[in-house]
Amino acid sequence: MESFDIAVIGAGMAGASIAACLAPDRHVILLEREDRPGYHSTGRSAALWVPKYGPPLVRTLTRASKPFFEAPGDGFGPVPLLTPRGGLVLAREDQRPALAALIGESGGALRPVGASGARAAVPLLRPDYAADAAFDPEVADIDVAALHQGFLRRLRAHGGALRTRAEVRGLYPAGGGWRIETEAGPVAADIVVNAGGAWADRVADLAGAVPLGLVPKRRTAIILDPPPGVDPAPWPVVDDVGEAFYLKPDAGRLLASPADATPSPPCDTAPDELDVAICVDRIERAFDLGVRHIGHRWAGLRSFLPDGLPVAGFDPAVPGFFWLAGQGGYGIQMAPALARAAAALLLGRPLPDDLAAAGVTAAALSPGRLAVPA
Ligand SMILES: Cc1cc2nc3c(=O)[nH]c(=O)nc-3n(C[C@H](O)[C@H](O)[C@H](O)COP(=O)(O)OP(=O)(O)OC[C@H]3O[C@@H](n4cnc5c(N)ncnc54)[C@H](O)[C@@H]3O)c2cc1C
């Protein structure tokens, strides 16, 4: 049986990023159930970097990831991982107070541009829809495939292994570490990392750890054609201040989402026809975009812990079982910093200076914070 220092379960963005961070110091194997890494949430995201999105810890990790996105180093190609996009937040007449509050909270980072400014940026915006708008110049597109593949290349460059079609079906304490039964045969490792995305609580179950109450939530996306002769490439991503939809340029076409968040069991999720219809309705109310044809549609799971924050840390009761889960709707944009923090915690090292200085603590990331009192 092959033996490793660390076995990471799940080859999405979480698993790939922590495996790449650990590989220079430890012998690492990445175990993935599907026949290709990135098949689930990681391959289904909207690929946005929005530093003002999410709770404060998420925002901190997102900002702390920026230097990596700008200069990722070995294993990453010459293509930029971040491309400026900009974000427009719209408010209907009844949503003006919500937009004003958001602008106030942003401490000047969100610029009021008014309805006319919004229409200048996105000419398809219906004049009778938005009463007000603000612009966030920091929003960027992420090249998710380049980021994910770069982490996997770095893992391999340091002698790490990726095994696909290797669903983990059993985790058994053995010799101070783990015997891991997979679809592709058993392996042994001292430490197991649970980066199972929507399945993280199921993976915990296999190890005899208490699940943390992770709730996967389905989100739908559809691809639409712009009207003939309209090139949406320079448009910002357009968001509704009430988070009822967003629309962003995507390779000459438009990606739209009703920003749904429907609780779901972990699964290979697919869009619900009602969510697609709701999406088209909301988009048509806001934009002059008679939708005649939907190019492509998909859904993915965004998995949330009860407090909305990610976990990175050893299980309080099961030795050698390390959690990296609960990335919600931010698992791409904060991946580089979260993986650095997780790798340091796993190796028993202090958190990297920049993260500690920004206020990230082991306690805030610890799964122990979610423990149900006995
Ligand atoms: C529509 C949509 C839009 C989004 N937009 C954004 C965005 O703009 N920006 C952003 O930052 N985030 C976004 N997200 C969130 C982001 O996609 C996720 O947070 C991120 O992909 C989570 O990565 P992960 O590796 O934890 O999960 P996953 O990518 O799902 O990977 C988990 C992997 O674990 C594997 N696995 C599970 N159990 C086992 C087992 N027993 N054995 C072996 N393998 C196993 C699964 O097969 C899977 O491949 C979006 C998500 C959706 C659905």
Tell which residue, 48, 88, 45, has the closest CA to residue 238: 88
Distance separating alpha carbons of residues 18 and 145, to the nearest angstrom: 16
Q: Rounded to whole angstroms, how far apart are CA atoms 220 and 298?
A: 6
Among 17, 35, 45, 62, say which to mutate for ligand 1: greatest number of ligand atoms within 8 Å of CB.
45
Atom of ligand 1 nearest to the CA of 42: 21
Distance CA(336)–CA(60), nearest Å, equals 12
Ligand 1: residue of 302, 322, 323, 333 to mutate (most ligand atoms within 8 A of CB) is: 302
Q: Are 140 and 83 in contact (CB under 8 A)?
A: yes
Which pLDDT value is given to residue 208? Answer: 98
Instruction: Report the pLDDT value the prediction gives residue 373, as an integer from 0 to 100.
Output: 54
Task: Please tell me the residue having the least CA distance from ligand 1 atom 34.
Answer: 10
> What is the Cα–Cα distance from 5 to 7, expressed in whole angstroms?
7
Alpha-carbon span 171 to 193, nearest angstrom: 11
List per-residue pLDDT tens for the chain, 374 residues long: 999 999 999 999 999 999 999 999 999 999 999 999 999 999 999 999 999 999 999 999 999 999 999 999 988 988 999 999 999 999 999 999 999 999 999 888 899 999 999 999 999 999 999 999 999 999 999 999 999 999 999 999 999 999 999 999 999 999 999 999 999 999 999 999 999 999 999 999 999 999 999 999 999 999 999 999 999 999 999 999 999 999 999 999 999 999 999 999 999 999 999 999 999 999 999 999 988 889 899 999 999 999 999 999 999 999 999 999 999 999 999 999 999 999 999 999 999 999 999 999 999 999 999 976 55
pLDDT computed for residue 219 by the predictor: 98
- Ligand 1: which of 203, 332, 334 to mutate, judged by most atoms within 8 Å of the beta carbon? 332
- Nearest residue CA, atom 51 of ligand 1? 45
Q: By CB neighbour count within 10 A (0-12 exposed, 13-18 middle, 19+ buried), where does 101 fall?
A: exposed
Distance in Å, CA 42 to ligand 1 centroid:
4
Q: What pLDDT shows up at residue 291?
A: 85
Task: Return the best residue to mutate from 41, 181, 303 for the ligand 1 pocket (most ligand atoms within 8 A of CB).
Answer: 41
CA of 301 to the centre of ligand 1 (A): 7
Going from the Cα of 77 to the center of ligand 1, the distance in angstroms, rounded, reads 23
Q: In whole angstroms, what is the distance from residue 306 CA to residue 313 CA? A: 16
pLDDT at 116: 97
**pTM for this entry:** 0.97
Ligand 1 site: residues with CB under 6 angstroms? 9-15, 31-34, 39-42, 44-48, 167-168, 195-199, 203, 219, 221, 300-302, 327-333
CA 14 to ligand 1: nearest atom: 25
The 10 Å CB-count burial string (b at 16+, else e) for 141-178 is: bbbbebbbbbbbbbbeebebbbbbebebeebeeeeebb
